Chains A and B, each alone.
Chain A
């Protein structure tokens, strides 16, 4: 199961937040696009011209069924086939926690895209902290896996991500933390279950 199928289980609460930041008629590249429903949504709501990238045969087929453009390719090998600055926006929706070359992929996003959007499950939410404090690896709606079957190889928090950005020349343009699909106003890293960021390369 990929990040986006996981998103379906949690109501794909990041779709609206992402769409709000995608400018009308822009070009988008959706990394780890899963079944292509985000691309379809962005086409319907923002008239975005989009392409997805996914490695799994089942997801490529699902994208074609959903009428979304998809390029079968391994994200972990970077975006070598894509020119610098060739997309208005590169999106990574609920996939960052499942990739191995996190640093390389985030930098590739900002090479190919003029700006980038990522969403990820926040490992810093209070109930997950509590589960850890009680001695068990956490399981939640956004992180529904057990320790032995999770595809998520990098678990991180809102604070971790922001620290990464400041250390890698990334300027955060906007942030939304969601809890059960609703924006969290205060203590995002404590109450947010899902975080969505829009960011660019610091100039």
Chain B
């Protein structure tokens, strides 16, 4: 992709959240790749999941190591070819990478939002994304795509703005979280909110960060992203040293790996954003407003769909993706569904799997033909 640079747009039209809360003004940080064609018909929105943001592809001139989170998928000659498509990545509202979120300063109080930042939902994100599309002159997206929580946004787009999305690429997704999914999120949130440095979410005022909570949240999350097999394959029972040490510090490689992941994460991610995003996951349930009938929830959708799951994903298993497919079939939507036999677990959606990428490439060839 080459060097890219993030941009910021400020919005002054109030954004009303599903909770009823209102954000009077806000910024969205975004990046774009490729060129919007004259007909403005080739725009693709790539939605981020839990810990990523607007930096989807390419690198920064002053930070060449910092590759976008979907750089293997999006770029010149890649499955989503930026020589053909104009791809947009945006940091969602409530995020911590430049878009207005809990660590931003509330213009009303002059203090950081912290605990007063509204609980945000997938619907709210999609509404904010639509405003960004307005400002970029994109009446309708050729495609909205995402994995995991990003896929939920793509799905929500087909419901909230059926006339503004022509294709939805829904990868490693579920139509709502299971009790087990929510349980894992709750453990992560408890780790953060019970950290003595959390201060009810207003830790900025105290000049501290609930680092220990964030580390634990990341560690538990990370376990759910990998499959048992992938973890065993990568780490097995390998030891850091020559033998077990009869202590509670690091003995096994997997412990060291999780601690490293937790440490890294706690340095760059905002704890309040983590709470918000896990809650957005919990609350996502488009069927809820339709007597828990997903088919009825998706009746408004007009897009074509590509749904992809991975066999070893136990967080959002293939059976969850098939619920989405079933609802689309009930509505006679155009849908293709692939179940990729990949060993990596939930994280497979971010990895370079030849079958997965060939499929997305073929699908986008079709999107391009229909532009």
A is bound by B: yes
| Chain A 66-90 interface 0/1 with B at a Cβ cutoff of 8 Å (1 = within) | 0111111100000001110010000
A22 at the interface (CB under 8 A from B): no
Residues of A contacting B339 with CB < 8 Å?
A: 72-73
A49 within 8 A of B: yes
Known A51-B329, A82-B329; contact A64-B336, beta-carbon cutoff 8 A: yes
Q: Are B325's CB and A71's CB within 8 A?
A: yes
B365 touches which of A27, A65, A83 (Cβ 8 Å): A65
| Chain B residues within an 8 Å CB radius of A70 | 336-338
Question: In the complex the two chains form, is A60's CB within 8 Å of B332's CB?
Answer: no
Q: Please tell me if A63 contacts chain B, counting CB pairs below 8 Å.
A: yes
Given contacts A27-B332, A81-B322, contact A65 B362 (CB under 8 A): yes
Q: CB-CB < 8 A to A81: which residues of B?
A: 322, 325-326, 329
Q: Are A60 and B329 in touch, CB under 8 angstroms?
A: no
Q: Is the CB of A67 within 8 A of B355?
A: no
Assess whether A64 is in contact with B363, with CB atoms less than 8 Å apart.
yes
Q: Taking A71-B325, A81-B322 as contacts, is the C-beta distance between A63 and B336 under 8 angstroms?
A: yes
Distance of A112 from chain B, by nearest CB (Å): 11
A21 to B329, CA, bound (A): 23
Contact between chains at B365 and A69 (CB < 8 Å) = no
Q: Which of A57, A73, A86 is the one whose CB lies under 8 Å from B355?
A: A57
Cβ of B145 under 8 Å from chain A: no
Does residue B250 face the partner (Cβ distance < 8 Å to A)? Answer: no
- Contact at A71–B336, with CB atoms within 8 Å? yes
Q: Which 6 A-B pairs have the closest CB atoms?
A: A64-B362, A65-B362, A71-B337, A72-B339, A72-B338, A70-B336
11 intermolecular pairs with C-beta atoms under 8 Å apart:
A49-B332, A57-B341, A60-B336, A63-B336, A64-B336, A64-B359, A64-B362, A65-B365, A70-B337, A71-B335, A73-B337
Binding site for A on B (CB under 8 A): 306, 322, 325-326, 329-330, 332, 334-341, 355, 358-359, 362-363, 365-366
Given contacts A27-B332, A64-B359, A71-B335, 5 further A-B contacts (CB under 8 A): A51-B335, A60-B359, A64-B366, A72-B337, A81-B325
